[in-house]
Amino acid sequence: MQLEKDCRSLIGHSDADEGINRRNFIQTAVGVGFAAATLPIFAQNVVKTDAAGLTAGVVSLDIHGQKVPLYYAQPEGKSNLPVILVISEIFGVHEHIADVARRFAKQGYLALAPELFIRQGDAGKYTSIAELIKEVISKVPDAQVMSDLDAVVAWAGQHGGDITRLGITGFCWGGRITWMYAAHNPSVKAGVAWYGRLTDQPNALSPSNPIDIAPTLTVPVLGLYGAKDTGISVDSVLKMQAALAQGNSHSEFKIYENSGHAFHADYRPSYVEADAKDGWARCLAWFKAHQVI
């Protein structure tokens, strides 16, 4: 499966080292029901964004009878805020994703990170990427994700968010979802996809992929990818660019020659500080240029 290959490239997994020792894992959950990341921590690189001047926490949304945890962060006492959806990797909404939400909140956004795997299971319980994908991620339908994100956007509009200024960003699994939700909801002003899968074989749960929606996409998406990514090839990026050229979304790519997969993930060995900082600056500038803020 292409997704499993992409995720192995995050940390250089092989079949032999698939079972990681749990004592090496980060176990900092951001709230009840949230998954914890299951990777070794490189503490010296971890960016820590405090909540000073912010209102942040966890709420539970009732979406079609399912309680869906939602981490939110926003400037304290502010309303009519631009909205950013922050879509996690396969490991769910752990402390790094919450930190990214707080970074956006410090920039003036209502940032929302929903736990999109909750119906299928708790991503934080798995110590094997292969098992996590098999038992949880591979069972998550795109239609479910799109519907849940629609509900999150509706909630934002009722809780201080200006959903006419809506953006979306995501990492790895969430990068693919960024492309797909931008196609699903043309009200999105702009998206930023960090190393999200672009091509794969369609199936019943994921009947199309970013390359399939590229010619008809109307939302401008910035793709941030690593040339050394062993799961997502530069060739697939070039194919995506060709497909996008058939339409008018004005999407763009930045390929980082010295980075592989997950170069923004500051808690992993894949982190590349210079490219992560450049990508973040480009991300903020992209949203500003497309009137998300």
Six token digits for residue 290:
């497309």
- Give the distance between the most distant pair of CA atoms in the chain: 51
Annotated catalytic residue, options 7, 94, 172, 184? 172
Distance CA 203, CA 193 (A): 22
Active-site position among 229, 275, 283, 290: 229
Considering the candidates 94, 96, 184, 261, report the single residue annotated as catalytic: 261
Separation between Cα atoms, residue 150 and residue 194, nearest integer Å? 21
What are 270-274's contacts with CB under 8 Å, separation 24+? Answer: 270/10, 270/11, 271/42, 271/45, 272/226, 273/45
In the chain, what are the helix, strand and coil shares in percent, each to the nearest 5? Answer: 35, 20, 45
Cross-sheet strand order for the sheet of 221-226 = 54-63, 66-75, 110-114, 81-87, 161-171, 190-194, 221-226, 252-256
Q: Which residues pair with 85 in a beta bridge?
A: 112, 168
How far is Cα 153 from Cα 63, in angstroms, rounded to an integer? 12
Active site includes 261?
A: yes
Tokens 């499993």 belong to which residue? 4
Residues recognised as catalytic = 172, 229, 261
